[in-house]
A and B are shown apart, each in its own frame.
Chain A
Amino acid sequence: MTKTLLSLSGISKQFDGKAVLDELSLTIGDGEFITLLGPSGCGKTTLLRMMAGFEHPDEGTVTLSGVDITLTPPESRPLNTVFQNYALFPHMTVFDNVAYGLKMEKRPKAEIAERVEEALAMVQLEDFTKRKPHQLSGGQQQRVAIARAVVKRPKMLLLDEPLSALDYKLRRTMQVELKRLQRELGITFVFVTHDQEEALSMSDRIVVLKDGQIQQLGTPREVYERPANVFTARFVGQTNFFPGRVTKIEGERISVNVFGLNRDLRKPSFRVAMNQSLHVLLRPEDIRVLAPDDTEGVAGKIVERNYKGSTLDSVIELEDGSQVMASEFFDEDDPAFDYSIGERVRVSWVDGWEWLLAEEGDEPLTDEEELAADDAEH
């Protein structure tokens, strides 16, 4: 990793006796795009506000380029924030909004004009300088907020769910735009979101948060393909959890009994014992739906079919009543592909595509987390 820009160590924070952040430590490298991902109430916004200086930790320290800024007020920190609802000054024009930060630095007029123009050109709003915020669309307001935050050339840009108020299409455009900006400016972005898809597509690294603690810290690929625990697996993307039992341990390989079938798998990084129960995780796209006369896999029947354009999503009910989600790419040449509801099939997966997790004490998810996870899928 590149050199450390910001580091948080042992951060704890309580609001009204309720722990929002719990001894959290995190280092953010210079120039990276890092996303804080989690359901509402996980502490991600509080963490961001702590970096900005709006909240101070009860315990722990925040250091920026080696300088302790734990108690430094926001106006003295070389970082800027893009707020969730933009927080544009309603009584000022677009130009004055963007110029505000530079005026605070008492920059000469000519420099301010030049830099504001430059910042507005970067977000393609150079023709809107004389408008007031309420005369702009949501997407345009968003761009002004970004221009206002980057015009001061901060070391770090903090973005608090900046795209949540935009519609789907505009959000996709802004995601690409933000990535472009980050590349061009070369500054560190800390992005807060509850949208896992957004997190996966934009970040260099993702911090998965729950109850004020880091659940997992890794690249989007690591978080998606090798979730550290059940929460991450459920929150990021959709996952099938198959119950497995260890039947054989032999060097780097173990045998796991899944739905009565013995699968020969790689030994996971956690300790396993004979007869131990564990979760075998498979993403819907790892599942193969086979013809009923196939020798491989487990028998079941199709209970739901959803045409998604590029993929066909199905839900298959196994004989023991558990349901399996499968997502397949179209293959028009495969005659067996188009199963109808109620049809008997067999499900299997390619060896090596599964991911094993130890069982945890605090399962299953509460309703609230389910909702948050559902939310994040849209």
Chain B
Amino acid sequence: MRWLSRSYLTLVYLLLYVPIVVLVVFSFNDSRTGYSWGGFSLRWYESLFNNHAMVQAMWNSLWLALTAATVSTIIGALTALALHRYRFRGKKVLNGMLFVVMMSPEIVLAISLLGLFLLLGLKLGYVSLLLAHVTFCLPFVVITVMARLSGFDERLPEAARDLGASDFTMTRTVLIPVIMPALMAGWLLGFTLSMDDVVVSTFVSGPSYEILPLRIYSMVRVGLKPEVNALGTLLLVFSLVMLMLSQWILSRSKQ
């Protein structure tokens, strides 16, 4: 029975990792066809970086993810604090509405956002993308921060006030440092969500601001170029670094 469970696990992991390994290996393949091994080469990386439109899309995506994650972390943290600290009318509704945004199909959000932007006469481009990305990142940030706040000792802000800190100083020196891991986690979550979003972005982006996922999508439509493998490998390394970073932050904060 032991060999059965072993081989079952092996199969699962093979299924998970074989496509990724193939992608990484073929990104270093000298052959043009992509189905046979033609020797080691970095030519696809070279051609990727020579592809001006591709590099531009990469920078656009990075900038968009960075700004969307930051904006949604700020708004989300404030929302979480308000929901945690104060009692007000409609608090439950507000809380529930977060989950509605999170659970509703992305396509619904995409269509309604497009409708809204057209109605407002907003030119589709960076601003519309940013607004859309902040919208779908927000609930994730709020929920991450709220989870941290629920375990927060209510006596800490009181202790700070008692020792002479104003409400603002207390927030700066006690509250924010204590919830920092949640803020970072929320930010990273937002960054990742924004980085690889296709559905919403397809609807609300314009020709003035092309982003990476959409660029890849359009490239693949005309046939799989080995360049895409190189790009995929780079993205993989990038997300692994981000993952390790977030784990490191979390483990440090637990000490």
Could you list which residues of chain A lie within 8 angstroms of chain B, going by C-beta atoms?
Answer: 52-54, 73-75, 80-81, 83-85, 87-91, 100-101, 104-105, 132, 148-149, 152
- In chain B between 110 and 168, which residues have their CB closer than 8 angstroms to a CB of chain A? 153, 155-156, 158-166
Closest residue of chain A to B166 (Cβ to Cβ) is A75
A74 CA to B164 CA, complexed, in Å = 7
Q: Tell me whether A152 and B156 are in contact (CB under 8 A).
A: no
Known: A52-B162, A75-B166, A87-B155. 8 other contacts (CB 8 A): A74-B162, A75-B161, A80-B163, A85-B153, A89-B159, A100-B163, A104-B164, A152-B163
- Please list 9 pairs of residues, one from A and one from B, whose beta carbons are closer than 8 Å in the complex, sorted by A's number: A53-B162, A75-B163, A75-B165, A84-B155, A87-B155, A88-B159, A89-B178, A104-B164, A132-B255
Residue of A nearest to B254 (CB): A134
Q: Which residue of B lies closest to A96 (CB)?
A: B173
Contact B161 A80 (CB under 8 A): no
With a CB–CB cut-off of 8 A, which chain A residues contact B174? 89
Residues on B with C-beta less than 8 A from A148 are: 159, 163
Asked if B38 is at the interface (CB within 8 A of a chain A CB), the reply is no
The answer, yes or no, to whether B169 is at the interface (CB within 8 Å) is yes
* Cα distance, A148 to B162, chains bound together (Å): 11
Q: Which residues of B contact A (CB under 8 A)?
A: 153, 155-156, 158-166, 169, 173-174, 177-178, 180, 255
Q: How many A-B residue pairs have CB under 8 A?
A: 61
Among A73, A100, A132, point to the contact of B160 (Cβ < 8 A).
A100
Known contacts A90-B178, A91-B177; A152/B164 CB under 8 A:
yes
Chain A proximity of B182: nearest CB distance (Å): 13
Q: Tell me the complex Cα distance, A54–B161, Å.
A: 9
CB neighbours of B159 from chain A (8 A): 81, 83, 87-89, 148
State A129–B158 Cα separation when bound (angstroms). 23
Given known pairs A89-B174, A91-B177, A91-B178, the reply for A104 and B155 (CB within 8 Å) is no
Q: Which residues of B contact A89 (CB under 8 A)?
A: 156, 159-160, 174, 178
B169 CB contacts on chain A under 8 angstroms: 104
Which A-chain residue is minimally distant from B159 (CB atoms)?
A: A87
Is A104's CB under 8 angstroms from B162's CB?
A: no
Among B159, B162, B173, the one with the most A-chain Cβ atoms within 10 Å of its Cβ is B162
The 6 closest A-B pairs by CB, nearest first: A104-B164, A87-B155, A101-B163, A87-B159, A74-B161, A91-B177
- A74–B155 Cα distance when bound, in Å, is 13
Complex interface: chain A residues within 8 A of B158 (CB): 52, 54, 74, 81, 83, 87
Residues of chain B within 8 A (CB-CB) of A87 are: 153, 155-156, 158-159
Residue of A52, A84, A100, A105 most packed against chain B (CB within 10 A): A100
Complex-state Cα separation, A100 to B177, whole angstroms = 14
Do A105 and B164 touch (CB < 8 A)?
yes
* Docked pose: A105 CA to B255 CA in angstroms: 30
A136: shortest Cβ distance to chain B, in Å?
14
Judging by beta carbons under 8 Å apart, are B177 and A81 in contact?
Answer: no
Chain A residues within an 8 Å CB radius of B165: 75, 100, 104
Residues from chain A with a CB closer than 8 A to the CB of B178 are 89-91
What is the bound-complex CA distance between A192 and B156, given in angstroms? Answer: 19
**CA of A140 to CA of B165 in the docked complex: distance in angstroms?**
24
Q: Which residue in chain A gives the minimum CB-CB distance to B154?
A: A87
Chain A residues contacting B164 (CB-CB under 8 Å) are 75, 101, 104-105, 152
How long is the Cα–Cα vector from A165 to B163 in the complex, in angstroms?
22
Chain A residues in 8 Å Cβ range of B161: 53-54, 73-75
Q: Give bound CA distance, A346 to B224, whole Å.
A: 104
Query: Which A-chain residue is minimally distant from B169 (CB atoms)?
Result: A104
In the assembled complex, how far is the CB of residue B177 from the closest CB belonging to chain A, in whole angstroms?
A: 5
Q: Is the CB of A83 within 8 A of B155?
A: yes
Beta-carbon contact of B162 and A81 below 8 Å: yes
Give the distance to chain B from A374, nearest Cβ to Cβ, in Å: 28
Q: How far is the CA of A372 from the CA of B181 in the complex (A)?
A: 41
B155 touching A85, Cβ below 8 Å: yes
B161 to chain A, nearest CB (A): 4
Q: Residues of B contacting A84 with CB < 8 Å? A: 155
A64 to chain B, nearest CB (A): 15
Is the Cβ of A75 less than 8 Å from the Cβ of B162?
yes
Shortest Cβ distance from A83 into B: residue: B155
How far is it, in angstroms, between the C-alpha of A342 and the C-alpha of B179 when the chains are bound? 64
**A81 vs B160: C-alpha distance in the bound complex, in angstroms?**
10
A101 to B170 CA separation, bound complex (whole angstroms): 11
Across the interface, which residues of A come within 8 angstroms of B160, CB to CB? 89, 100
CB distance from B32 to the nearest CB of A (A): 55
In the docked arrangement, what's the CA distance between A149 and B160, Å?
11
Q: Which residues of A contact B166 (CB under 8 A)?
A: 75
Task: Give CA–CA (A101, B165) in the complex, Å.
Answer: 8
Residue of B nearest to A99 (CB): B163
Cβ–Cβ < 8 Å partners of A83 in chain B: 155, 158-159
How distant is A45 from chain B, measured CB to nearest CB, in Å? 12
- In the complex, what distance in Å separates the CA atom of A85 from the CA atom of B152? 13
